[in-house]
C-alpha cells in the first residue's frame, strides 16, 4: 500500500496527479495507475480489475490517486483520457443536475463519477489533457504500471 501524501498545510497545498488506465480487450482485464507529486515528494499506486473497461480504469486511477490524499489539496489531474478530463472539467455538473443522467440517456460509470464528485467537495480539482504515448515521463510511467498490473493480475 502506498504512503499517502499528507497535508499539514492549508487547503492551498498543491499537488499534481498523473493517471492512466489500460485494458486488454475492452471489456477485459484492466489496470490503473497514478503518480502523485508535490515538490520533490512522490508516491504512486496501481491495481487490477478482472473484467472492466478502459474508461472505468481511467476513472478509477483518478479516484485512487485522490483517495490517497490526506486533507484538502489543490490538485492538477493530468491525464491522456479526454473522457476523464472533459467529464471533470465540463460534464459532471450537468450530469448531476439531471439526476446522474446524460442528455442522451444513461450515464455509464455513475458510481465512479459520483465518487469523483464527492472528492471535488474535498479538493480543488483542475484537469489537464495530454496526448497519450507522446513521451511524457509520468504518463509513460503510469501506462507501464497499469499494463504491469494487468499482467500481474492475469497470472
Q: Which residues are marked as active site?
A: 20-21, 58, 80, 133, 143
Task: Report helix, strand and coil shares of the chain as percent, to nearest 5.
Answer: 40, 30, 30
Three cell numbers, residue 84: 476523464
Neighbour-count burial of 138, counting CB atoms closer than 10 A to its CB (0-12 exposed, 13-18 middle, 19+ buried): buried
Angle of the 54-67 helix axis to the 110-122 helix axis, nearest 10: 30
CA–CA dist 101, 1 (Å, integer): 34
The SS3 of residue 112 is helix
Amino acid at each position: 500500500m502506498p504512503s499517502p501524501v499528507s497535508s499539514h498545510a492549508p487547503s492551498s497545498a498543491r499537488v499534481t496527479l498523473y493517471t492512466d488506465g489500460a485494458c486488454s480487450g475492452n471489456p477485459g482485464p484492466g489496470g490503473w495507475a497514478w503518480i502523485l507529486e508535490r515538490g520533490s515528494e512522490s508516491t504512486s499506486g496501481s491495481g487490477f480489475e478482472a473484467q472492466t473497461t478502459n474508461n472505468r480504469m481511467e476513472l478509477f486511477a483518478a479516484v485512487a490517486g485522490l483517495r490517497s490524499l490526506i486533507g484538502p489539496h489543490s490538485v492538477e489531474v493530468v491525464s491522456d483520457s479526454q473522457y476523464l478530463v472533459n467529464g471533470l472539467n465540463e460534464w459532471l455538473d450537468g450530469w448531476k443536475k439531471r439526476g446522474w443522467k446524460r442528455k442522451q440517456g444513461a450515464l455509464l460509470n455513475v458510481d465512479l463519477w459520483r465518487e469523483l464528485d464527492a472528492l471535488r467537495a474535498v479538493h480543488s480539482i483542475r484537469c489537464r489533457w495530454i496526448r497519450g504515448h507522446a513521451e511524457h515521463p509520468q504518463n509513460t510511467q503510469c501506462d507501464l504500471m497499469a499494463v504491469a498490473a494487468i499482467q500481474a493480475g492475469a497470472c
